[in-house]
Each structure stands twice: as structure tokens, then as C-alpha cells.
């Protein structure tokens, strides 16, 4: 599942995971930047604002490689469905937005398992920003692209950086055939579309009555 901050993809992933589990499918969820292997290094670098675009890219690639080895491949071999809250496309979009060479980043992640389905929750930058601010979410330094020095305003920097990330995602939709979900719609509408996309890959039927309870 892909999308910028405020796209609602994590909420949609949680609902999908519960639905699949209720249907009897064994599910394993893995999240971006969650490996204990590089957590300390990443935290220290962020605290000192010392991460360059290339360093940030390499740390995330190391994190991904560790999770792929221990949190993706073993569950797949065990017959589980692995749901990834962000995958390689996050690196492709964010790193390129920071000026890292696109081809280099793609080669860096060439070892990654190709997902059966990649879903991109597309949302305009204004909607994303409004959602985060309405939830009183404190925008983070790197997520807002403050390391690039494009603006002294955290909110404006977020808009500029995530706007560039959105442009990169549009490239990825065409390049990798990502399935797009309109993330401006209601939670119910998005989940209905999401489940139908997943149902194309699994022998499982959607239940709109359960979805109506989310409205």
C-alpha cells in the first residue's frame, strides 16, 4: 500500500487485514522503516538532522532488506498474505523527490520480491495537509522535507516536498502499473474499491453489508 502522509492508506490496510483474517486468510503486516537493525542509527541521524538524501536512502534500503529477509519472505513461504504498509515504491518516490538518481534507486532495490498487487492511495496535497493538521499531527522534519531547505515553514516545506513525491508516484503508476484508489472518497468507498482489487487475486467475495457499517 502506497501513498503520501495523510492519504489514509494505513487505515485502509488495517481494515483490509481484519477482513482477510475474518475470511480465514493468514495475514502478516509489515511497516516501512521498522527494522530494529537500523532503528538506532536512523534515530540518531534524525535527531541531529545529519541525514543526507543518499544516507537516508541507504538506511531505508538496509531496513527494507532486513525486513524482507525476516518479515516478508518467511511468511510468504508459510503461505501467508503479506501486507506491506509502504514498499519499494516509497523509496522510489521519496528518494527521487530528494534528487537521488531514479535508476540508481531502482537498482538498489532490485533484490526485492515483486508484489502481486501494489495499490496507491492518491490524494491531493491540500487534502493530505488538512487531514494531518486537523488531527493535530505534528509534521516531522524529514517527512516535511525540511532537510532540503526549500522553506523555513514546516507546513510549506511539507507541501513542496510531498508535492514532488506525488509527481514521482504518478510516474510509478505508469512505470509499474500501480492500482490507484481515489483517497478523497469516504473510508467506506475506498475500502470497497480496495477489497475488490484484492479479490481479483484471491478466491474471496466482498461483503458490502459489512462495509456499510463503516459509513
**Residue 128 sits in a domain of what CATH number?**
3.40.50.300
pLDDT at 51 (0 to 100) = 85
CA dist 136 and 145 (Å) reads: 19
Q: What is the mean pLDDT of residues 175-196?
A: 94
Residue 208 lies in a domain: no
Residue 56 lies in a domain: yes
> Phi and psi for 169 in degrees, rounded to 5?
-60, -40
Residue 71 lies in a domain: yes
Residue 213 lies in a domain: no
Residue 1 lies in a domain: no
Measured CA distances, 84 to 25, 124, 190 (Å): 16, 22, 17
Which residue, 129, 131, 130, is CA-closest to 143?
Answer: 129
Q: Is 209 a residue whose pLDDT tops 90?
A: no
The sign of the CA dihedral 44, 46, 47, 51 is positive
Give the gyration radius of the chain's Cα atoms: 17
- 3-class secondary structure, 17: helix
pLDDT at 215 (0 to 100) = 39
CA dist 213 and 211 (Å) reads: 5
Residue 169 lies in a domain: yes
> How many folded domains does the chain comprise?
1
> Phi and psi for 28 in degrees, rounded to 5?
-130, 130
Write out pLDDT tens, residues 53-84: 999 899 999 999 999 999 999 999 999 999 99
Vertex 91, ends 172 and 56: CA angle to 5°?
A: 155
pLDDT at 206 (0 to 100) = 60
Measured CA distances, 77 to 74, 174, 204 (Å): 5, 30, 21
Residue 210 lies in a domain: no
> Phi and psi for 209 in degrees, rounded to 5?
-65, -40
% of the chain at pLDDT higher than 70:
94
Mean pLDDT of all residues belonging to the chain: 90
Beta-bridge mates of residue 83:
29
Write out pLDDT tens, residues 126-139: 999 999 888 877 88
This prediction's pTM: 0.90
Measured CA distances, 120 to 79, 81, 144, 187 (Å): 24, 18, 20, 15
Range(s) of the domain holding residue 115: 9-202
Amino acid at each position: 500500500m502506497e501513498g503520501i502522509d495523510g492519504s489514509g492508506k494505513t487505515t485502509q490496510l488495517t481494515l483490509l487485514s481484519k477482513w482477510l483474517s475474518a475470511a480465514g486468510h493468514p495475514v502478516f503486516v509489515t511497516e516501512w522503516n521498522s527494522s530494529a537493525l537500523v532503528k538506532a542509527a536512523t534515530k540518531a541521524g534524525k535527531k541531529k538532522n545529519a541525514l543526507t538524501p543518499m544516507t537516508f536512502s541507504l538506511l531505508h534500503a538496509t531496513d527494507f532488506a532486513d525486513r524482507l529477509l525476516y518479515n516478508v519472505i518467511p511468511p510468504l513461504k508459510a503461505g501467508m498474505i503479506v501486507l506491506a504498509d509502504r514498499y519499494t515504491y516509497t523509496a522510489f518516490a521519496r528518494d527521487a523527490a530528494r534528487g537521488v538518481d531514479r535508476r540508481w534507486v531502482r537498482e538498489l532495490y532490485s533484490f526485492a520480491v515483486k508484489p502481486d498487487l501494489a495499490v496507491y492511495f492518491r490524494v491531493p496535497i491540500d487534502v493530505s495537509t488538512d487531514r494531518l493538521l486537523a488531527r493535530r499531527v505534528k509534521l516531522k522534519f524529514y517527512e516535511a522535507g525540511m532537510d532540503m531547505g526549500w522553506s523555513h515553514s514546516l507546513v510549506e516545506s511539507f507541501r513542496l516536498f510531498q508535492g514532488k513525491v506525488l509527481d514521482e508516484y504518478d510516474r510509478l503508476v505508469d512505470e509499474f502499473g500501480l492500482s490507484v484508489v481515489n483517497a478523497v472518497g469516504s473510508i467506506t468507498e475506498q475500502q470497497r474499491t480496495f477489497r475488490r482489487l484484492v479479490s481479483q487475486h484471491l478466491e474471496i467475495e466482498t461483503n458490502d453489508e459489512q462495509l456499510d457499517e463503516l459509513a
